[in-house]
Structure 1
């Protein structure tokens, strides 16, 4: 189980949104590179980064901040938000992004996802963000009629390295992860699934280490880390103990 600390970028700063609402953004750090370094020093092994402005604009808007993050940490970074074509995918992979997350384009152009997986095996993830069980796109501004499971099944044999599943109704409000819906998705496909949205405390980490969650690759934590509700050392020690090392 991997715990992915999150850096959400808005206007070059690290923020957290409430329920995906750009108007409800709290700034936690104005130096994304420094935040990335802090997470690495705390012992995290991966980093989850989202260009929020890019997700709405459909193109990268926080490129300088992402460059700063890549320069500041040796941890692998997965990046999503506004990446909508092969040129953007390849540009980020060339810069050193380990895994590109495709969200809106996975709904709009699934062929691109499959082509990207074929061209860059192991480096393409799909972001599935759901509100009330239905997939949301365009920075969560629009909700489709597609269910999360239906979308995931489209990529079953495409070579997607992971699915990041976010429950928008829980994102940024510290209600706890939506384990039932996340496990429903994980059990419906063979692609590794990462839980996102609502991780609030060490109890969520303990829940993720229970046997039925073995299907999950990990989970993303944002606000709980920033406001001190989740102690990094305690969480990582628990995960390390569960791994038996």
Structure 2
């Protein structure tokens, strides 16, 4: 099993940005052409992209749909999209636009039946976002923290047919502190669902470490700020992941 490296494109007001710890007021703008950014990642060898409609995560509906559509039209590989997907109509809307997978986060906690219905309608196309702050599930664009432990949330969907769990340590996201490998591996070992690591990737060492645990159920890793800041070379990361 080869670790998938997902370069991240986070969208705010149609621009490519990265947030620090999920704070919309702490956004760094990296470009105003999302499709061009997608092609830069493709040129470096990426076959997968992780795209987040940040405005949508807070609004509870698609806000950057046009920017996502431009990415899907341009990028030759698989595009995974999250942010504000809280109804079946929203799920269908993204698949109609050609995305490969959608990520349901807040609604997975508030409306678990949506996850089950979406997973049944689009086999292999639904990822559950499990965003953690101090071990508990964060929702509403990470603005709120629930009283639901991460593992409890994950186990609710073991029989739902979801493709993967996207586990983000909110406190590390965009901070270059290093990925929370131990918590990610613990989650992967405790559930039957593959896990995608996210939050805090600082460099090639994180990719190398996570690749060692692909056999334990770590499907992939999402990286953003480290790529944009030049701390991580995407082609090198892909090579390390492929080597296992």
Which of 179, 186, 189 is the matching residue for 1:187? 189
Work out which of the residue numbers 114, 117, 121 in structure 1 matches 2:116: 114
TM-score of the pair, normalised by structure 2: 0.97
Of residues 149, 161, 166, the one that matches 2:151 is 149
| Residue 209 of structure 1: how far off its partner (Å) | 2.1
Which residue of structure 2 aligns with residue 51 of structure 1? Answer: 53
Q: Determine helix, strand or coil for the equivalent of 2:114.
A: helix
Task: Look up the match of 1:209.
Answer: 211
Measured at CA, do residues 13 and 212 of structure 1 come closer, stay the same or move farther in structure 2, by a change above 3 Å?
A: closer
For residues 176-209 of structure 1, give each alpha carbon's deviation from its aligned partner in whole angstroms, at most 9, with x where no partner exists: 0101111111111111100000000111111112
* TM-score with structure 1 setting the length: 0.96
Q: Secondary structure at the match of 1:65?
A: helix
Size of the alignment, in residue pairs? 242
Which residue in the other structure is 1:22 paired with? Answer: 24
Shift of 1:170: 0.3
Per the TM alignment, residue 233 of structure 1 is displaced from its structure 2 partner at its CA by 1.9
8 Å contact from structure 1 (residues 183, 213) kept in 2: no
Give deviations 1:37-68, integer Å, cap 9, x for gaps.
11011001100000000000000110110011
1:57-114 Cα offsets, whole Å, 9 max, x none, are 0001101100110111111100000111001101111110100100000000001111
Question: What CA distance in whole angstroms lies between the structure 2 residues aligned with 1:150 and 1:120?
Answer: 24
Unpaired segments of 5 or more residues in structure 2? Answer: none
Could you say which residue in structure 1 is the equivalent of 2:106? 104
Looking at structure 2, the residues matched to 225 and 212 of structure 1 have their Cα atoms a distance apart, in angstroms, of 21
Cα deviation code 1:143-179 (max 9, x no counterpart): 0000111000000010000110000010000010101
Partner residue of 2:133? 131
Distance 1:13 1:61 in 2: 12
